[in-house]
Structures are given as structure tokens and as C-alpha cells.
Structure 1
Amino acid sequence: MTAALIRRSVVVGAALAYAVLLRPRLLTWGATRTEAMAALPGDDIVRARWRTTRAITISATAADIWPWLVQMGFGRAGWYSYDWLERLAGAGDFAEGGSARSVLPQFQALAVGDTVPLSPVGGMTAAVVDPPRALVLRMGMSVLTGAPARVEDRAILDWTWAFVVVPVGSRSSRLFVRARADYRPRAIGLLIPLLLEPVHLLMERAMLLGVRRRVQGAPW
């Protein structure tokens, strides 16, 4: 067996191991297999060619968690993630400078059809607002610019972002975050694992931990 063939076999084996063993865990960080497969609000909005479900346990009621979810957004309370990365992308302008460390009364009213900004060029539409249980946002966006999609755009990502709180005790809840996406052209599906998934995991995991830290009043 030649050295080139050995290297090729190693690369193929590593890719298969990632696809079969590691990737499913990254797409469902914090969620059990049953939770990842369960139906959640917003699942019927777009066809899912790509989906992630992540979760975290928070020692608080749904009513305690909801105010932190409903105020999220660019120019609002932020995303409770890595603010420096948001700023690097030009989307880090938040009401308190960085992601809010308190509940902001001015951002507590949200209705179906309202826009939750992602960046200066566009935002997501509130598709489901069911306090204190579910918030589902939707956006059709240009893959190239991040702006709202237009009919003439050749590369489009139509996706939903669902935040669902499920009580698991008198003072404990599970917070689920599910992303579902359809896209065109189909070739985008080849790029998502390479370009989108690593950053999405990094930011969303930090968001879940950031929400829990704020709700539970952990020291900074």
C-alpha cells in the first residue's frame, strides 16, 4: 500500500468517524436523543434539510427565563454569547454595549410579525410568540449578504430559530434551541458542515450558558 493511499484512507476514515460519531453530538449538544427527535413549536414552518437541537437545564421557572429570551437581538439585549465575535461581524451593537446582564423593560413586548434584528442589514420575523413557553423566529436570507432574501437571489437560506422552555420541576426547566433550514441551491448543503456548523455550535452553546448564568444570577 502506497503512502498516498494510506493518507487517503486515514482522511476518509476520519471523515466517516466525524460524520457518524462526532457530528450528531455537536448538532444535539446538551439534548438527549429523545429530546432531539421530539416535535417542538415551529417545526411546521419550513422544510428541514438541516436541523440542530441543543438544550440546557436551568434552575428556574419558564416565567423567569422568558424575559431574557424575548429581549434578545441586535440593538436590543444581544445574544448572551461572544460579543467580540458579534462585533467582528458588524452585529455587536447592543442596548447595554455588550449582551445585557439585566432584564430590559423596553424589549419585553413582542408580537407575531415583529422583527428581531440580527444585524444592521436584516432581522428575523417573530413567527410564534407564546409566553413563557415558545419563541420562534424566521428569516429568508441571502447566503452571500445576510440581508433578507429577494426573488432574484441565487443562494437563499430559509430558516427558523426556536426557543422553547419546558418545565421539569417546580423550580427547574429545560431550554431548547432548535434551528431548521431549507436552502437553495442544494450545493449549500455541502458547505454547511464546514462553514456554518462550527461557528453555530460555538455561539449557540455560549448563548445557552449565558442565559443560564443570567437567569440563575451567577456572579460575573
Structure 2
Amino acid sequence: MPALEGAALIAVHLAATPFVGEGRRTWGTVGTEATDALPGDDLVPDPRWAYTLGVDVAALPEAVWPWIAQIGQGRGGFYSYQVLENLVGCRIVNTGEILPEHQRPVVGDEIRLHPEAPPMRVAAVDPPHALVLAGTPVELDGEAGGGAATWQFVVRDAPGGRSRLLTRGRYDHGDDWGSRLAFGRFPLEAIAFVMSRRMMREIARLAEGRA
């Protein structure tokens, strides 16, 4: 059952956090992908921690982009462990269809992760290659100047009609407990890794099915 698999993986990765190195934060990347400059990096120029994950997709960027364009709560979902997300009240419905009404994100659009949490906002969009979401601790009742976070999606052309899908998160936070809880490495890194890896593999599967 996917939900039990996801819960078990999160538990294992939470327990392993003190012992893991950079490998988990660069899973699936090849060559210089983990250190390459990506759209949105400038929004959090000096992150306290960050990750870059990668996956190969047997489809052109144009086939990958629709699934990224519609990402979000109340939109296409997050293509991850839906049951786990809904256990914490996210009300996620992961779609297996392209939704025309959510195919044109523009800068300033609000993208929600949870219906009762402040949204992230579209900070940059470059179809079919980049979508950048950004949020700040201030929006989560943190202190002004307490930091920021980005969630970056990049689709690169690869040889043979393939693509490379990269996701990157960059996090800064203040010293207050709310900011640390919302944007600190623990427990967020382990949870983000398990959920993001599932998401990326599912996006690849959906894109390849449409290619």
C-alpha cells in the first residue's frame, strides 16, 4: 500500500537525518546539476540548507510541463502520497489528467500546499522549462526578515527526445521557533525528500504515458 510505504520511508529518513550526508539532498542528480544555477536561486541567495533532486523522463519538456503547471492544492495535486497528505488535512486530489484551467500560471498566482496555510506564490514562470514558487516566514507568522523558501521546478532538454526534471528547495529561516519549525532542516528535509521523490517519479510516469 503506497501510504504505508510512504509513512515507513518518512520514519526511516527522520531517524537517519543525523547520519546522512549530501547524498539525500542531491538524489538523482547527474554531473553538475546539484550545483548549477537554476531560476529562482536569487530569491534565497544564502540558504541555511537546500536540496536538488533529479529524474530522467522519456518525454520532451513539452510533455512534462503540463503536470508541473497545474501543481498545487485545489489544482492537480502533488502526485505524491495522497493519503498521507490528507491525514494532515491537505485535501489533496492527485489527478491523472491535464487540467486546461490550470495550464497558465503567471507571476503572483497563489499556489496552496494546504487549504488553511498561507500559500506560496509564483515568482517565475518560463514554459515549458521553469516554475518557481516562493514563500516567506512572515506569511507563516514569523518575524520580518526571518528568511524565505523556494520550490523550484526545472525541465531541461536531454538527448534522444528525453528530459531531465529537477526540483530544488532553498531555505533560510530566523531564530524564532516558528520560523525554524516551518523552514528548518529537521523534520522538513526528510519529509520533503520522500514526498518529492515520489512526486517526480509520478510526473515522469504521467509525462511518458502522454508522450
* Contact 2:17/2:190 (<8 A) preserved: no
> Which residue in the other structure is 2:192 paired with?
200
CA displacement at 1:120 relative to structure 2: 1.2
Residue pairs, 1:181-220, within 5 angstroms? 181-185=171-175, 188=180, 192-217=184-209
Q: CA RMSD in A?
A: 2.5
5+ residue gaps, structure 2 = 1-15
- Whichever residue aligns with residue 190 of structure 2, its letter is P
Greater relative contact order (Cα < 8 A, sep 6+): 2
Instruction: From 20, 36, 39, give the equivalent of 2:37.
Output: 39
Instruction: From 137, 146, 149, give the equivalent of 2:140.
Output: 149
CA displacement at 1:42 relative to structure 2: 0.5
* Contact 1:84/1:92 (<8 A) preserved: no
- Whichever residue aligns with residue 101 of structure 2, its letter is Q
* Contact 1:69/1:163 (<8 A) preserved: yes
Alignment partner of 1:30: what SS?
A: coil
- Whichever residue aligns with residue 211 of structure 1, its letter is I
Alignment partner of 1:67: what SS?
A: helix
* Contact 2:124/2:130 (<8 A) preserved: yes
Q: 1:16 to 1:68 in 2, by over 3 A?
A: closer
Q: Distance in 2 between matches of 1:196 and 1:17?
A: 13
Q: 1:113 to 1:66 in 2, by over 3 A?
A: same
TM-score for the superposition, normalised by structure 2: 0.82
> Which residue in the other structure is 1:120 paired with?
115
Which of the pair is proportionally richer in strand?
Answer: 1
What is the identity percentage for the equivalent residue pairs of Structure 1 and Structure 2? 36
Stretches of 4+ aligned residues off by more than 6 angstroms: none
Q: 1:99 to 1:157 in 2, by over 3 A?
A: farther
Q: Distance in 2 between matches of 1:75 and 1:125?
A: 14
CA displacement at 1:92 relative to structure 2: 2.6
